[in-house]
Amino acid sequence: MAAAFSVRKADYADPSDAEAIVMLLDAYARDPAGGGEPLSDYARAHLVPELAARPHAYSILAFDGKAPVGLVNCIEGFSTFKCRPLVNVHDVAVLASHRGRGIAQVMLEAAEVEARERGAVKMTLEVLSGNTPALTLYQRIGYAGYQLDPAMGTAQFMQKWL
């Protein structure tokens, strides 16, 4: 049987939550799915204060006892077609030692509760095509490729570094 874990919204003003967010995001960044590089010193020092400065950001933390083991970072955006907020799930991270226990799903459920409380019309996320476990989870809990008219195809996530 999987170990019990708890999930809650992070408090950016709480030093232990801030430490957990940085530790978990750094572990994710070091993982091949996160790019395989540690967070920069700048990101480590400024991540939580910058999240806290954005009222449209929130994070969900998962704990195994008192040990932080999972993180979801969310940033609110806006759907112009629906004229309502949307929430982008920017990071989903579970320590390798705790994967396969349903932690990501429970964190995403908590993120969805918060999104609904904010009046969001939808949640979005991006995932690498080779991350089969994540893709399987996201599809199982209702995420699907974005499209308007099937003849136009599905949306593709793109970026341009500034």
Give the up-direction half-sphere exposure of residue 130: CA atoms within 13 A in the CB hemisphere.
4
Report the alpha-carbon distance of residue 19 to residue 73 in Å, rounded. 14
Domain assignment present for 162: no
The closest of 99, 97, 89, 86 to 133, measured between CA atoms, is 99
CB-CB contact of 123 with 115 (8 Å) = yes
Q: What is the pLDDT of residue 154?
A: 85
Domain assignment present for 128: yes
Mean pLDDT in the chain? Answer: 94
Strand partners, 125: 89
Please tell me the total count of domains within the chain: 1
Stated pTM of the model: 0.93
Q: What is the pLDDT of residue 1?
A: 40
Domain assignment present for 118: yes
Domain assignment present for 84: yes
Q: What is the pLDDT of residue 86?
A: 97
Quote the domain boundaries for residue 138.
6-143
In terms of phi and psi (left: phi > 0; alpha: psi -120 to 50; beta: otherwise), the region of 136 is alpha
Please list the pLDDT of the chain residue by residue as tens digits (162 residues): 445 899 999 999 999 999 999 999 999 999 998 999 999 999 999 999 999 999 999 999 999 999 999 999 999 999 999 999 999 999 999 999 999 999 999 999 999 999 999 999 999 999 988 999 999 999 999 998 888 888 988 888 888 889
Domain assignment present for 161: no
Q: 105-120 in b/e burial notation, b at 16+ Cβ within 10 A?
A: ebbbebbbebbeeeeb
Indicate which CATH number applies to the domain containing 38. 3.40.630.30
Dihedral sign for Cα 162, 21, 49, 76, please. Answer: positive
* Token pair of 74 as six digits: 């969310």
Residue 115 φ then ψ, to 5°? -60, -45
Tell me which DSSP letter residue 89 carries: E
